[in-house]
């Protein structure tokens, strides 16, 4: 078992509690997800197909559950187990950003929360190419994550949140993600800061 999968398997049972109480970079978690859901819902057709990459325990995807067909992938089978217990109607499969086990052009939207930074920097372009593959033309991508406008902004946050900061994480910068989205076939990119360390980025498949 790879180390990331093992880490998230161990975290699965306490994840929902932890993201509400850990503070630091996660402050504003619920607000960020709510804002992102409002943004994406306006683009979805009735009974559309939505995929959550790194679905975890289903917190983000659940905000769409009343009128959308929810699909999810995660590297952690324990996270998927927790998600299935909470949301048995979700279609769940093991996978990740660079290996999404769904068909070409099968999704109206692909969302992801607090997961993109886990993708190795050298694989981020391939990850967005894979997202593009499963999206229908005109479909929406929505990335919610711990991201920063610049190196200076990230350094400020690391100093301010030193006791909660994880130096092992490789957080993305907004200009990098914007460029990668454009290179992988997306347009109409919007970037909105939703909390101290959170950004919401959306785009449309050409």
Residue 204 in tokens: 């449309």
Checking if the pLDDT of 1 tops 80, the result is no
Share of the chain above pLDDT 90, in %: 96
Q: Is 82 a domain residue?
A: yes
Reported as a pLDDT band with limits 50, 70 and 90, residue 67 is confident
Q: Is 166 a domain residue?
A: yes
The torsion region of residue 58 among left (phi > 0), alpha (psi -120 to 50) and beta comes to left
Q: Is 18 a domain residue?
A: no
Beta-carbon neighbour count of residue 44 at 10 Å?
17
H helix or E strand, kind and range, residue 12? none
Per-residue pLDDT tens over the stretch 98-117: 999 999 999 999 999 999 99
Q: Is 201 a domain residue?
A: no
Q: Is 14 a domain residue?
A: no
Q: Is 121 a domain residue?
A: yes
Tell me the C-alpha distance between 167 and 169, whole Å: 6
Q: Please name the residue ranges forming H helices in 47-116.
A: 77-86
Domain assignment of residue 90, given as a range = 1-8+29-38+49-61+68-96+104-188
Beta-carbon neighbour count of residue 130 at 10 Å?
21
Q: Is 17 a domain residue?
A: no
Cα→Cα distances 17→10, 108, 154, Å? 14, 30, 26
Q: Is 198 a domain residue?
A: no
Pairing of strands 107-113, 69-74: unpaired
- Mean pLDDT, residues 25-34 taken together: 96
The CATH number assigned to the domain holding 124 equals 3.40.50.150
pLDDT at 65: 82
* Number of structural domains in the chain: 1
């Amino acid at each position: 078992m790879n180390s990331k999968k093992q880490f998230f398997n161990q975290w699965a049972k306490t994840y929902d509690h932890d993201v509400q109480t850990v503070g630091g970079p996660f402050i504003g978690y619920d607000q960020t997800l709510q804002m992102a859901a409002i943004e994406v819902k306006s683009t979805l057709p009735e009974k559309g197909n939505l995929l959550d990459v790194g679905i975890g325990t289903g917190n983000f995807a659940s905000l769409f559950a009343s009128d959308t067909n929810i699909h999810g992938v995660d590297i952690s089978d324990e996270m998927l187990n927790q998600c299935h217990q909470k949301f048995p109607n979700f279609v769940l499969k093991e996978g990740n950003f660079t290996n999404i086990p769904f068909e070409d052009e099968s999704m109206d939207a692909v969302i992801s929360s607090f997961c993109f930074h886990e993708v190795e920097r050298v694989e981020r372009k391939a990850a967005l190419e894979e997202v593009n593959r499963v999206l229908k033309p005109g479909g929406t991508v929505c990335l919610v994550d711990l991201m920063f406008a610049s190196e200076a902004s990230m350094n400020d946050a690391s100093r301010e949140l030193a006791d909660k900061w994880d130096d092992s994480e490789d957080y993305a910068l907004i200009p990098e993600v914007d460029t990668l989205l454009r290179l992988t076939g997306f347009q109409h990119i919007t970037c909105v800061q939703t909390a101290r360390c959170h950004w919401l980025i959306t785009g449309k498949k050409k």
